[in-house]
Amino acid sequence: MIPAPYSPMRIIHLRQRLRDLGCKPCHEDRLLRGWSQVDSYDRVHSPAENFFPAALRRELSAIEAELDGLARLSGEYPANGHRIDTTNNHESHDRSPTPTLMEPIAIRLSPQAGRAQRGGRSRANAALRGPSDNEGVARLLVELADGQMVESVLLPRGGLCISTQVGCAVGCVFCMSGRNGLIRQLGSAEIVAQVVLARKRRAVSKVVFMGMGEPAHNLDNVLEAIQLLGLQGNIGHKNLVFSTVGDLRVFERLPLEKVRPALALSLHTTDALLRARLLPRAPQIAIEELAERAEMYARATSYPVQYQWTLIEGVNDSDAEMERIARLLAGKYAVMNFIPFNEVDGLAYRRPSAERTAEMVQTLKRHGILARVRDSAGQEIEGACGQLRARAA
């Protein structure tokens, strides 16, 4: 008998399951808030044991177990390069213990927990704030329910970078994520589960969709996840960042969403022929058209476009490129993020010197273009996006 193919969980499926248990939108909202924020279901004067329908209370343990299994920590690699042992529940590693989502139902639904809150925030959520906001970079190797692996990255100041696909179909020649092509899409619940997993370890106030995969190729699931994180997940809309190599569907769909994220456009060069070689399976859209469409979205949302540019020595770091960037972005609501290339096994590309990178930033600033250097998280551990998964495989 051939096993059925794995079907990743989507938020819409979870909502329908809750409705089948007699939940109304208010019940869905409270459960999704509790899950996505790693928070209690209780509210002041409204304990969940009296609020949730009886059918949901009976199924809650099974639902929580299923949600908990969507994304599990396989390995943690902090910036010091030493892998943290995640076996035997040793995840905290000298940090103050933080609560997990899977607390016993008697605790999660207790009236006492509701009375302990202030304005709907629990002590559990307070434990996730504080010193953890200032922790440095760590890469998380995340195992999904079917055994596939993706990567998330804990960033400074409460940031988190998450994946949207296992593998990638764009095939950027300087990126490890797409070396074996696209394996499968992540369901919207799996995308949110990466945020939940990170929040069990520290506070998360910004989520960028810049990990493994091209979000535009999994648009329905990514937008579902963004809506939940922006409406129930306590993430400010401008702190949700949708990254893409450029796809017309993105510019058609994002303006229509209730939660409209900030936009990051992976450009990497202003030379159309070079871009086609660097991003061989990206949509063949004129660079000027991409910039104009991105500018329209930026003005509509009041969030500047973040142009992403992986700096590769001798490839896209020339004076001619700087001049073309200055012309392309003149007067636009935009910021240029230079990301020095993170070395990948088997590739001959190199990053420019720090002096050359600083010179490029200053050149654009003299032209009135906001430019900055953003190190790809994981330089110290040779952890360019996709490398941890590749080593695990």
Do the Cβ atoms of 241 and 208 come closer than 8 Å? yes
**What would the two tokens of residue 219 be?**
């648009």
What is the distance of C-alpha 183 from the center of its chain? 18
Given the residues 135, 151, 214, 224, the one annotated as active site: 151
| DSSP label of 316 | S
- Which residue, chain included where needed, has tokens 């960042």? 241
Q: Considering only CA atoms, which of 187, 184, 133 is closest in space to residue 160?
A: 133
CA 90, CA 73: separation in Å to the nearest integer? Answer: 11
Local structure of residue 164 (DSSP, 8 states): S
Judge whether 385 counts as a catalytic residue. Answer: yes
Cα–Cα distance list, 265 to 221, 228, 244 (Å): 19, 23, 5
**Closest C-alpha among 175, 195, 176, 173 to residue 186:** 195
- Angstrom distance (rounded) from CA 365 to CA 290: 22
The alpha carbon of 371 is separated from its chain's Cα centroid by a whole number of angstroms, namely: 23
Q: How many residues does the chain have?
A: 393
CA gap 125, 123 in Å, rounded: 5
The residue type at 181: G
CB atoms closer than 10 angstroms to residue 257: 14
The answer to whether 288 is a known catalytic residue is no
Report residue 29 as tokens: 């909202």
- Short-list 208, 217, 211, CA closest to 185: 217
Closest CA to 140 of 191, 92, 94, 83: 83
At residue 194, the 3 state secondary structure works out as: helix
CA–CA gap between residue 100 and residue 38 (Å, rounded)? 7
Tokens in use for 210? 């810049």
Give the residue numbers marked as catalytic: 151, 385
